[in-house]
Amino acid sequence: MDLYQGILTRRSIRKYTSKTVPDELVRELINAAMHAPSARNSQPWHFVVLDDRKILNQIPKVHPNAKMLEQASLGILLCGDEDLALTKEYLPLDLAAATQNLLLAVHAKGLGAVWIGIYPREARIEAMRDLLNLPSTILPVSLVSIGFPGEEAPKVDRFIEERIHKNGW
Ligand X SMILES: Cc1cc2nc3c(=O)[nH]c(=O)nc-3n(C[C@H](O)[C@H](O)[C@H](O)COP(=O)(O)O)c2cc1C
User: Based on CB atoms, which residue is closest to ligand X, 30 or 69?
Assistant: 69
H and E: helices and strands count for the chain: 5, 4
Q: Does 5 bind ligand X (CB under 6 A)?
A: no
Q: Does 33 bind ligand X (CB under 6 A)?
A: no
Please choose, out of 10-18, 47-55, 81-89, 129-137, the segment that lies near ligand X by the rule CB under 6 A.
10-18
User: Based on CB atoms, which residue is closest to ligand X, 13 or 85?
Assistant: 13
Contact 52, 70 (CB under 8 A): no
Q: Does 39 bind ligand X (CB under 6 A)?
A: no
| CB 139, min distance to ligand X, A | 14
Look up residue 167 and give its DSSP letter. S
Alpha-carbon span 92 to 118, nearest angstrom: 10
From 116, 90, 85, select the one nearest 14 (Cα to Cα): 116
Please choose, out of 7-15, 19-27, 74-82, 126-134, the segment that lies near ligand X by the rule CB under 6 A.
7-15
Return all residues near 64 (Cβ < 8 A) that are at least 6 apart. none
Which residues between 106 and 165 bind ligand X (CB under 6 A)?
114-117, 153
The amino acid sitting at 158 is R
Alpha-carbon span 138 to 24, nearest angstrom: 26
Q: Binding ligand X by CB under 6 A: which of 5, 31, 57, 65? A: 65
Q: Does 26 bind ligand X (CB under 6 A)?
A: no
For 26, the enclosing helix (H) or strand (E) is: helix 23-34
Q: Does 15 bind ligand X (CB under 6 A)?
A: no
Residues forming contacts to ligand X in the complex (CB under 6 A) are: 11-12, 14, 65, 114-117, 153
